[in-house]
Amino acid sequence: MTNRIHLTLMPLAAVVLMTGCAVARVDPPAPAVSTAQYKESAGWQHAAAASVPDNWWTLFNDPLLDDLQRQLVIGNENLRSSLSAVASARALYDASRSALWPTLSVGAGATRSDSPSSNNSDRSSKPVNSLNLTTTASWEIDLWGRLSGARTSAQASFQASADDLAAVRLSAQALLVQTYLSLRTADAQLSVLARSVAAYQQSLGLTQVRYEGGVAARTDVLQAQTQLKSAQAQSADLTAQRAQLEHAIAVLLGRPPASLTLERQASLPPVPEVPQMLPATLLQRRPDIAAAQQRVAAAYAQIGVTDAAFFPDLTLSASAGFRGASLSNLFSAPNLLWSLGPTLTQAILDGGQRRLASVQATAGADQATSAYRQTVLTALQEVEDNLVLAQQLQQQAQLQGEALQAAQSNLDITLEQYRAGTVSYLNVVLAQTAALSSENNLLSVRNRQLAAVNQLLKNIAGRWQPM
């Protein structure tokens, strides 16, 4: 009996002695964000990694925007799709963890069979009944780290899916902010056009009076009519654009366009001030970078999984049960059966599949690493672009405001001169056109400022300060 036990355990002992040849662990490269710094910022400093902060859009100080953002999280269909992807990745991770534990199964069966005897003429044999009830347990010993490597890879993939969800959420929030700000800009421009149309109507009335009195020419009336109709046409076009922006907001919220109506507001929110210094490692909390880094970790863990296939698999199994001809005496000692022992399995010939799988895993890790580094470089470019854009637009807004003041002063003077009869109506048209253009340009610059700050907040995952 002792010799039999020794023979049974010899494969297990041999495998244990081979653990010194375990698969070497391949570590992923260090994160690239830790060495990043900004060119367009006045200074930079290190910061700890953090997740995307909640309610980052409150920097725009708009209660209606806050309410729309709350509706976005509930109704956006892209967020729901990403949430399902996270649930699927979590299920795969849980499955990889369960593979490390033993499995237990129970089976029961009943058969009735008959077979001919050695004498073909003799058919006196009777059918035989066979009943069995067995319990089987098996456990794959993770000597080479294949199962733990698969668990690590699945865990990293699950975390990458969660980061993808955060990235989709951040993108949807930033898109809602941008669409809402564009709608507010359209409202402000419509307000300017409404005031311009009212002024043009007054100018047309004045010109008609002067024409009827023989002071102004017919061309002055035609110019005033042309200017008025052009402004009304611009208002109609801008009204259509405003409706389309409102429809886009409704779809972002997961609602049909007909169910959403936003009141007009003639002013834009103030532009949040961009600090002179930004923490360089704010990029560490960007969810797209975090997802790319997790995919690198998953790919490198997969290298260990494929390399472990070159080593034998060891499985401990045990089974016990009863087998008999009738149910009445099935659970008796003579009908008891059991087995216990290890199983060692090693593929000898596989046509190079294991080697190719290892090459594929290594190439996948290199690809994931390059994708991660490219994601970091793209993130740096986005921050640099919006930093310089926000700075230049601030100066442009100041200059455009001064131009508007000059245009308004010129319009006031020209209107007085026209009433006095010292200039033609063409001068009035030119002055009014310049004033309207300057005011629209200022609104456009402010909209671009808000868009640049919004994109910059998205690029650094929501806040100027580290969490």
pLDDT digits (tens, 9 = 90+) for 170-180: 999 999 999 99
Residue 367 vs residues 95, 152, 360: alpha-carbon distances, Å: 26, 19, 10
| pLDDT at site 51 | 67
> 1-36: buried (b, 16+ CB within 10 Å) or exposed (e) per residue?
eeeeeeeeeeebeebeeeeeeebeebebeebbbeeb
Q: Reduced to 3 states, what is the DSSP secondary structure of residue 318?
A: strand
**How far apart are the C-alpha atoms of 245 and 250, rounded to whole Å?**
9
Q: What pLDDT, in 10s, does the model give residues 443-465?
A: 999 999 999 999 988 888 877 76
The encoded tokens of residue 61 equal: 């100080």
Asked if pLDDT for residue 50 goes beyond 60, the answer is no
Residue with tokens 């472990």: 308
Q: What is the mean pLDDT of the chain?
A: 83
| pLDDT at site 261 | 92
**Strand order through the sheet with 103-113:** 103-113, 128-141, 313-324, 336-345
Q: State mean pLDDT over 412-419.
A: 89
| pLDDT at site 42 | 44
End-to-end CA distance of the chain: 67
Chain CA centroid to CA 375, Å? 13
% of the chain residues with pLDDT over 70: 85
Q: What pLDDT, in 10s, does the model give residues 223-256?
A: 889 989 999 999 999 999 999 999 999 999 999 9
Q: What pLDDT, in 10s, does the model give residues 308-354?
A: 888 888 888 888 888 877 777 778 778 888 888 888 888 888 888 88
| pLDDT at site 423 | 85
Amino acid found at 329? N
* 256: DSSP letter: -
| pLDDT at site 258 | 92
Residue pair 185/444 in contact (Cβ under 8 Å)? The answer is yes
Q: State mean pLDDT over 207-224.
A: 87
| pLDDT at site 47 | 36
Q: State mean pLDDT over 286-294.
A: 89
| pLDDT at site 422 | 85
**How far apart are the C-alpha atoms of 301 and 93, rounded to whole Å?**
13
Q: Does residue 6 or residue 339 have the better pLDDT?
A: 339
Residue 284 burial by Cβ neighbours in a 10 Å radius (0-12, 13-18, 19+): buried
- Structural domains of the chain, with CATH: 28-102+144-312+352-459 (1.20.1600.10)
Residues 6+ apart with CB under 8 A from 217: 211
Asked if pLDDT for residue 103 goes beyond 50, the answer is yes
The 10 Å Cβ neighbour count of residue 191 is: 16
| pLDDT at site 334 | 80
| Alpha helix positions (H), 213-252 | 218-252
Q: State mean pLDDT over 289-295.
A: 90
| pLDDT at site 102 | 87
**How far apart are the C-alpha atoms of 415 and 432, rounded to whole Å?**
9
**How far apart are the C-alpha atoms of 401 and 442, rounded to whole Å?**
6
Beta-bridge partners for 107: 134
The 10 Å Cβ neighbour count of residue 62 is: 20
Residue pair 193/229 in contact (Cβ under 8 Å)? The answer is no
Residue pair 303/362 in contact (Cβ under 8 Å)? The answer is yes
| pLDDT at site 49 | 42
| pLDDT at site 406 | 94
The encoded tokens of residue 238 equal: 């801008």
Residue 76 vs residues 163, 167, 245: alpha-carbon distances, Å: 17, 14, 16
The encoded tokens of residue 195 equal: 């005031």
Q: State mean pLDDT over 432-439.
A: 89
Q: Reduced to 3 states, what is the DSSP secondary structure of residue 341?
A: strand
Residue pair 379/445 in contact (Cβ under 8 Å)? The answer is no
Q: Does residue 149 or residue 115 have the better pLDDT?
A: 149
Q: What pLDDT, in 10s, does the model give residues 141-182?
A: 888 888 888 898 899 999 999 998 888 899 999 999 999 999
| pLDDT at site 228 | 92
CA atoms within 13 A on the CB side of 397: 17
Q: Reduced to 3 states, what is the DSSP secondary structure of residue 457?
A: helix
Q: What pLDDT, in 10s, does the model give residues 79-102?
A: 888 888 888 888 888 888 888 888
Q: What pLDDT, in 10s, does the model give residues 391-402?
A: 898 889 899 999
Residue 285 vs residues 159, 211, 274, 359: alpha-carbon distances, Å: 14, 68, 19, 32
Question: Which of 249, 250, 247, 236 lies closest to 189, judged by CA?
Answer: 236
